[in-house]
């Protein structure tokens, strides 16, 4: 899958979010990168996505003039999975929603419990 198509899938996922989720999103950007940097992935794990920021529920009155939180979606680790196109699209969706869950304050343990780990 080329970069343009990959980014298009990410945008489709975001466009399909329910209105309540869209209404809650504040100061967040979603970025597609080919690979994570060493700083983002020091243990060189198979990292598909990463949320970097202050989860929504942890923001208080002092949360003013902050740089946007960022969700990174990494293209090449997705491609290495070798999935057929429809399954790859599903995995991209799963990754975007997983990282968005972190933005909403849901940790990996809870995501594992509900099958989104």
All structural domains of the chain with their residue ranges: 3-113
- Whether the predicted model's global pTM rises above the 0.85 cut: yes
What is residue 89's predicted lDDT score, i.e. its pLDDT?
A: 97
**Domain boundaries 3-113, corresponding CATH code:** 3.30.2010.20
Edge-to-edge strands of the sheet including 49-52? 28-33, 69-74, 49-52
Q: How far apart are CA 65 and CA 67, in angstroms?
A: 7
Among the listed residues 22, 29, 14, the one whose alpha carbon sits nearest the alpha carbon of residue 67: 29
What is residue 81's predicted lDDT score, i.e. its pLDDT?
A: 96
Q: How far apart are CA 68 and CA 47, in angstroms?
A: 21
Mean pLDDT by 10 residues, the chain (117 residues): 97 95 93 90 85 89 87 97 96 95 90 79
């Amino acid at each position: 899958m080329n970069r343009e198509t990959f980014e298009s899938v990410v945008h489709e996922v975001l466009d399909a979010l329910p209105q309540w989720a869209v209404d809650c999103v504040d100061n967040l950007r979603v970025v597609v990168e080919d690979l994570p940097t060493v700083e983002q992935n020091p243990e060189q794990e198979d990292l598909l996505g990463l949320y970097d920021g202050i989860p929504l529920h942890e923001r208080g009155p002092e949360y003013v003039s902050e740089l946007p939180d960022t969700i990174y979606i990494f293209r090449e680790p997705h491609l290495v999975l070798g999935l057929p196109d429809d399954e790859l699209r599903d995995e991209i969706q799963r990754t975007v929603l997983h990282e968005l869950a972190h933005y909403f304050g849901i940790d990996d343990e809870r995501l594992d419990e509900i099958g989104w780990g």
